[in-house]
Amino acid sequence: MDIRAYVTEKAREAKTASRRLATLSSVVKNAVLLSMADQLESQSAMLLSANAKDLEEAKRQGLSKALIDRLTLNPKRITEMAMGLREVAALPDPVGEVIKMWRRPNGMQVGKVRVPIGVIGIIYESRPNVTVEAASLCLKAGNATILRGGSEAIHTNAAIVEILNKAGESAGLPSGSICFIENTDRQAVMEMLAASAFIDLIIPRGGEALMKTATENSRIPVIKHDKGLCHTYVDADADLSMAYDICMNAKVQRPATCNAMETMLVHEGIARAFLSKMIKGLQEAGVEVRGCPKTRSMVPGLKEAIEEDWTTEYLDLILSVKVVRDMDEALEHIARYGTQHSEAIITRDYGRARRFLSEVDACAVFVNASTRLNDGYQFGLGAEIGISTSRIHARGPMGLEELTCAKFIVLGTGQLRE
């Protein structure tokens, strides 16, 4: 198989489709999404049998139980995917929105209008539901997609895309709007990253190796969904009961996510009063706590937190704890070890809350709330294709608006450049 020719042909199809998609009405797009939802449900048998092939292969290869669980479809998960499609159909269409419009002294009106980006390439390693989420959000924002999922889900993903396209096309979706790369060779990813004539944006979703591949090789703009090494700083003036609840939530509620807390920073003025109860609670919830020397002197029996702990995104029930002299030390620690993802302060002090908001550089900065709330649904964006750790175009949770760009329109009456 000539992988370059194959990927280029898919990308070209997506580009052609994207021109028609850009002017498709919301009515048609919504009908397409609802038809997809219905077909996913009514063809669940076909989906489950494709999934069975992937599961068989996964077991043969001895994949971990967690990975196999993520890969597994069942009627409940299929219904959830269908519900997701119906929710996207119900969201307002971002395309065509006049973001602002103003009049110039020479009388011409200048406006900024939201338009689709064009073709979005998504490279992902995660669960099959990402296929549905990514394709539907891009489609609602008027974009064609070219999808490259993980090899372990290839049969499931291919079946999903087939159902989506068939259902979509019967409701008016241009052919080629959702292209799936049915090739697991790494070269296929490299060819996507090189297809700058057809693909306008690359969104990689996955581990560090994928981020590095995309950043180092792409000739197309990349919006990264990279890791989060997130801190919560419990200030001298914190409400300690609130701090307890927030830190517990940030660590325990779903530790494998990018916005979970990995390091807790505690002001030394309240450390003795706070830490023993907090650490006991965390340990009872199954968390392994590792401490700096001061932490270990206050709460005996903890494992030592070494330099590597401050730089590790555990994604697990492990937490490193550091007692800091003052807020300056907390800010320095965050600037040095943080990944500019989700950072929180717990305090009742107005000035320090304000300073934290202004000085901490991260895609989301929290006062008195759990870092786990860094999420498109929680923020009210209606949906989320992921959390951008890039600074360009979109930063933080990406909803439908972030899957569009803008063009200027000028309504004139004969204006010239003087």
Query: Which residues make up the interface to a copy of itself (CB under 8 A)?
Result: 19, 22-23, 96, 102, 104, 108, 110, 113, 115, 117-118, 196, 200-201, 215-216, 219, 221-223, 239, 242, 245-246, 249, 253-254, 335, 353, 357-359, 361-370, 372-375, 378-380, 390-393, 395-397, 405-417
Which one, 12 or 393, has the nearer CB to a copy of itself? 393
Question: Residue 90 CB, nearest distance to a copy of itself (Å)?
Answer: 17
**Distance, C-alpha 227 to centroid of its chain:** 10
Question: Residue 106 CB, nearest distance to a copy of itself (Å)?
Answer: 8
Plot region of 137 (φ>0 → left; ψ -120 to 50 → alpha; else → beta): alpha
Which one, 318 or 335, has the nearer CB to a copy of itself? 335
Question: Residue 193 CB, nearest distance to a copy of itself (Å)?
Answer: 11
Question: Residue 335 CB, nearest distance to a copy of itself (Å)?
Answer: 7
Residues 6+ apart with CB under 8 A from 197: 11, 15
Which one, 42 or 196, has the nearer CB to a copy of itself? 196
Distance between CA atoms of residues 154 and 185, nearest Å: 12
SS3 144: strand
Which one, 52 or 240, has the nearer CB to a copy of itself? 240
Distance between CA atoms of residues 33 and 24, nearest Å: 13
Question: Residue 144 CB, nearest distance to a copy of itself (Å)?
Answer: 13
DSSP code for 385: S
Which one, 291 or 382, has the nearer CB to a copy of itself? 382
Distance between CA atoms of residues 407 and 115, nearest Å: 7
> Distance from first CA to last CA of the chain, Å, rounded?
58
Which one, 97 or 268, has the nearer CB to a copy of itself? 97
Which one, 47 or 403, has the nearer CB to a copy of itself? 403
- Given CA atoms 189, 193, 199, 200 in this order, what sign does their dihedral have? positive
CA angle centred on 347, ends 289 and 351, rounded to 5°: 140
Asked whether 365 and 199 are in contact (CB, 8 A), the reply is no
SS3 117: coil
Question: Residue 110 CB, nearest distance to a copy of itself (Å)?
Answer: 5
Question: Residue 303 CB, nearest distance to a copy of itself (Å)?
Answer: 27
